Structure 1
Amino acid sequence: MKFILGKKLGMSQVFEEDGKVIPVTVVEVEPNVVVQVRTKEKDGYEAVQVGTGTRKIKNINKPQKGHYKDLGNFETLKEFRITEAGGQELKAGDKFDASVFAVGDKVRVTGMSKGKGFAGVMKRHGFHGMPHSHGHHHVARHAGSIGQRFPQHTLPGMRMAGRMGADQVTTRGLKIVRVDVENGLLAVKGATPGYRGQLLMIQSQ
């Protein structure tokens, strides 16, 4: 099982030898460090905790310093669950970079989607809206009825206006198109969740 943490730089395009254009997301990969390895005997599940990035020492409290154990002043910590079929023999202090992936690898990418703020039902759920004639006045984008006389309360799960976006999203079936180990860059075919600068969790399928 392969995995790494990276930062989304934006989208670009790559030309193949036959002239075909492939839209790609460029991901910046700084060196990843294994901070902790969780085991089923001790923690109840198997996972690898990975740190990346750098923070100022003044912004790290004592419990975090004790947890890092002089491995680095990490900006981000994330855990990757390890399956029995694809486990890796890793230990705290191990480092790895973009070279863990190769061109053609199938991956799934997890990140936080763009926040849209408070959105109405037409944008959030794709409602068609009200008719624009026959007495309808100032209700073109309203939701309409949210229930009936019985059971005299709104049913759970009713689609209504509310905050949209800023959810954890996983995009599957993507492919590694380019690997630049020297500059710490990965080119992933297609779009990935989030805005530019968003932290991405990339792992093999």
Structure 2
Amino acid sequence: MCGIIGKNMGMTSIFLDNGENVPCTIIYSPPCYVVQVKTIENDGYFSIQLGVDEKKIVKTTKSLVGHFKKAGISPKRKLLEFRSESTPLFKAGSIIKVDLFKEGELVDVKGISKGKGFQGVVKRHNFSGVGESSHGQHNRLRAPGSIGAGSDPSRVFKGKKMAGRMGYKSVTIKNIKILKLDIHQYFIILKGSVPGNKNSYLMIKKKKWNSKF
């Protein structure tokens, strides 16, 4: 499986040929450079490492400068790895552009979801709260309630749904359709929404099979 690195530019809506208005996400994906090709002999698995967006040498560690120099390219700001089940067809230093895809194709998009911070059980796990505000329950509307028995087992089981940090996790949305493709300005318009904030990086993965549409 191969793909490219894109940047979430936000959402809008477009009209299709049949007059339907659909929500979509605009992805900007400049040319991605192959920084490293991993093989089973050297690394234990097949993959390619892609880099995108220029980065100043003075802001790059010496080890990474040597890593990029080995591939014959300048330092990149973002590095992401795409695994493969067979020997990759690309070599270090080659360029991958948006013409890797075509309109109507289905892709998988992976990114980091929006961080919500520390949230309670109502927002985090869709709890309904303990009860109504009548009969003296003035501060129990969004409380979690009982979290376990006291005597036996005298502890709280691991994995109990409670308040905690919400969001900022790796999320993959599968089978997103490519509505439009601009190979000259490096834009991809995907149907629906994708994980992450504006200007966040995304992995747009090419599937083994193409869409029938």
Deviates more, 1:152-161 or 1:17-26: 17-26
Q: Who is 1:190 aligned against?
A: 192
Confirm or deny: 8 A CA contact 1:2 1:100 kept in the other structure.
Answer: no
Q: Is residue 2:108 matched to residue 1:108?
A: yes
Confirm or deny: 8 A CA contact 1:34 1:95 kept in the other structure.
Answer: yes
What are the superposed Cα offsets for residues 166-185 of structure 1, whole Å, 9 maximum, x if unpaired? 11100111011111011110
Confirm or deny: 8 A CA contact 1:2 1:101 kept in the other structure.
Answer: no
TM-score in terms of structure 2 length: 0.92
Structure 1 residue 22 displacement after superposition: 2.0
Structure 1 residue 2 displacement after superposition: 3.8
Deviates more, 1:87-96 or 1:154-163: 87-96
Unaligned runs of 5+ in 1: none
Q: Who is 1:41 aligned against?
A: 41
SS for the counterpart of 2:58 is helix
Q: Is residue 2:78 matched to residue 1:76?
A: yes
What are the superposed Cα offsets for residues 149-189 of structure 1, whole Å, 9 maximum, x if unpaired? 21111100011101101111001110111110111100011
CA distance in 2, matches of 1:67, 1:2: 21
List 4+ stretches of structure 1 deviating above 3 A. Answer: none
CA distance in 2, matches of 1:2, 1:39: 14
Q: Which amino acid aligns with 1:54?
A: E
Q: Is residue 2:181 matched to residue 1:176?
A: no
Unaligned runs of 5+ in 2: 208-213
Q: Is residue 2:149 matched to residue 1:148?
A: yes
What are the superposed Cα offsets for residues 18-63 of structure 1, whole Å, 9 maximum, x if unpaired? 2111211100011100010000111001100000011122110110
1:84-123 to 2 correspondences below 5 Å:
84=86, 88-123=88-123
CA distance in 2, matches of 1:173, 1:79: 20
Structure 1 residue 199 displacement after superposition: 0.2
Structure 1 residue 133 displacement after superposition: 1.7
Q: Is residue 2:159 matched to residue 1:157?
A: yes
Q: Which amino acid aligns with 2:142?
A: R
**Alignment root-mean-square deviation, CA:** 1.1
TM-score in terms of structure 1 length: 0.96
Structure 1 residue 83 displacement after superposition: 1.7
Q: Which amino acid aligns with 1:141?
A: R
CA distance in 2, matches of 1:83, 1:26: 29
Q: Who is 1:31 aligned against?
A: 31
CA distance in 1, matches of 2:202, 2:20: 27
Q: Who is 1:133 aligned against?
A: 134
